[in-house]
Amino acid sequence: MQSAPSQQTFRSKNLLAISVACLAVAAAHIQSDPVAIGGSPNEGKRTSGPPVLNLPPSPSLPERIEEESDSASSDTAQQVVRKEDPSVLRGIWALKVTSAILKKGIESFETVPDYTASFYKQERMNGVLGDGQTIELKMKHEPFSVYMKWESGDSRGQQLIYVDGQNEDKLLVQPGGIKGRLTGVMKLDPTGTMAMSQSRHPVTKAGLIGLAHSILEYQEKDVERASGFVCELRDDQQFEERPCYLYICEYDSPEVNPLYRKSVIYVDKELSMPVCVKNFTWGKDVNPETIDEETLLEFYAYTDLQIQQKLGVADFDATNRSYRMRVR
Instruction: Dump pLDDT digits (tens) for 83-132.
Output: 568 889 999 999 999 999 999 999 999 999 999 999 999 999 999 999 99
Q: How far apart are CA 61 and CA 249, in angstroms?
A: 8
3-state secondary structure (DSSP) of residue 188: strand
> Per-residue confidence at 16, pLDDT binned at 50, 70, 90?
very low
The mean of the pLDDT values for the chain is 82
137 in Cβ contact with 119 (< 8 Å): yes
156 in Cβ contact with 135 (< 8 Å): no
Which residue has better confidence, 113 or 49? 113
Q: How far apart are CA 6 and CA 59, in angstroms?
A: 33
Query: Tell me, what DSSP letter sits at residue 67?
Result: P
Position 327 scores a pLDDT of 87
> Rounded mean pLDDT of 56-64?
60
The DSSP bridge pattern shows strands 229-239 and 262-268 to be unpaired
> Per-residue confidence at 63, pLDDT binned at 50, 70, 90?
low
Q: At what angle do helices 92-109 and 207-225 cross, to 10 degrees?
A: 150
Is pLDDT at 67 greater than 90 in this prediction? no
Q: How far apart are CA 39 and CA 112, in angstroms?
A: 9
Position 182 scores a pLDDT of 85
197 in Cβ contact with 219 (< 8 Å): no
3-state secondary structure (DSSP) of residue 304: strand
